[in-house]
Structure 1
Amino acid sequence: MLNLKTYQIPLSKSNWTLTIPQDFLESEKIVLLKGILSLDINRSDHMIHIKSMVTSSLELQCDRSLDTYIYESQCNLEIIYKEGLKEEKIDLHSSIKKLEKHQQIIEFDQEVRDMLLLSLPIKRIHPRYLDDYGNPKELLNVQFGTNNTENSIDPRWYALKNIKN
């Protein structure tokens, strides 16, 4: 789905823009309203250096009210493909991958999926339940029962003490 043919990438700097399909996160039960993958590629003889940026609009369901809302996300990832690499390294913001000598296609599906899923908030709370700083507001601030501030003793304790004696 999200891939580039290596023979189409010129031996210099180039920019590519790919559209992320709307059914991309269907297996995760997340609706992708709009998604764009922007690639800044610097290619040399034995290496391809890619700076990618994903800009997306996702429709999420609130954990508190079950209402849907739109969540805007922007993620960056740096990917380096090298020839003759023995061990691949994957980090939160960058990864170094092996480039086969006759590799025809570079796929971005897994990287984009990981970037989108890691950008989601842990608590999916509708923006109307958040304060100005992004912290959740208290839903209910109600106390039940009487507000006795003095240390009154429940009369049932007297009955229990009398049973003992």
Structure 2
Amino acid sequence: MRKLEVKDLKDFNINIVNLKEGTHQYDFIIEDSFFKNFDHSLTDKGSLKIDLTLEKTSNVIAANFHIEGFVELICDRSLEAYEYNLKSDRKILFKFSESEQESNDEIIFLHPAVHEYNFSTLCYEFIMLEIPFKKLHPKYQDEEEWEDGERLIYSSETASEEIEEKEENKSDSEAVDPRWEALKKLSNNKEN
């Protein structure tokens, strides 16, 4: 097992050609300096541990990432910084191929002449995929949020009360509205 506190993105280089068939374990400790290497990052602070397990066979390497720790985010509502805990498991396959093939979200094709692979970009992308689109400080999780004129409820108790209230108001308004009664009479007259 190789444990690294990442000081430079070169620390993510792994010589994949010289790996023997079998399982290989790498641990990376990521701190604030890691995020400064990527432009327009969603965060620039965090503390994470990445356990990378490489399972090599004759022509495929399965890379399993277990990511755990926190990143610092800025609340969209209050602009306060807060720690967002994240935990993720991701997998990607590396296949060796003489011909050029386009990689996708599940498979990365490598030419057999590639001796070393830098895993920093994959680690970064997997961390960014865990950051929520809407960043809300935990102290606002049980409060109401307005969006497009509708009230979103974060507390499950108040959410059920809100739904019941809307249903009551809906049934009351349907029973009282005289326009619906007039339309029903017109429809009944046409059918007769």
Aligned length in residues: 133
Deviation larger for 57-66 or 20-29: 20-29
Does structure 2 conserve the Cα–Cα contact (< 8 Å) formed by 1:35 and 1:55?
A: yes
Match of 2:33 among 12, 17, 23: 23
Unaligned ranges ≥5, structure 1: 132-136, 142-165
Match of 2:177 in 1: none
Residue type of the alignment partner of 1:48: I
Match of 1:100 in 2: 111
Q: Specify whether residues 96 and 70 from structure 1 end up closer, same or farther in structure 2 by C-alpha distance, changes over 3 A only.
A: same
SS of the residue aligned with 1:24?
helix
SS of the residue aligned with 1:110?
helix
Structure with the bigger percentage of helix: 2
% same residue: 22
Match of 1:34 in 2: 47
Match of 1:119 among 115, 119, 130: 130
TM-score, scaled relative to structure 1: 0.70
Matches of 2:71 and 2:24, distance apart in 1: 28
For residues 5-24 of structure 1, give each alpha carbon's deviation from its aligned partner in whole angstroms, at most 9, with x where no partner exists: 22453321122112224222
RMSD after superposition: 2.3
TM-score, scaled relative to structure 2: 0.61
Matches of 1:87 and 1:76, distance apart in 2: 26
Q: Specify whether residues 20 and 5 from structure 1 end up closer, same or farther in structure 2 by C-alpha distance, changes over 3 A only.
A: farther
Match of 2:104 in 1: 90
Residue type of the alignment partner of 1:17: D
Structure number with the bigger relative contact order (C-alpha 8 A, sep ≥ 6) is: 1
Residue type of the alignment partner of 2:53: D
| Superposition misfits of 4+ residues, deviation over 3 angstroms | none
Match of 2:181 in 1: none
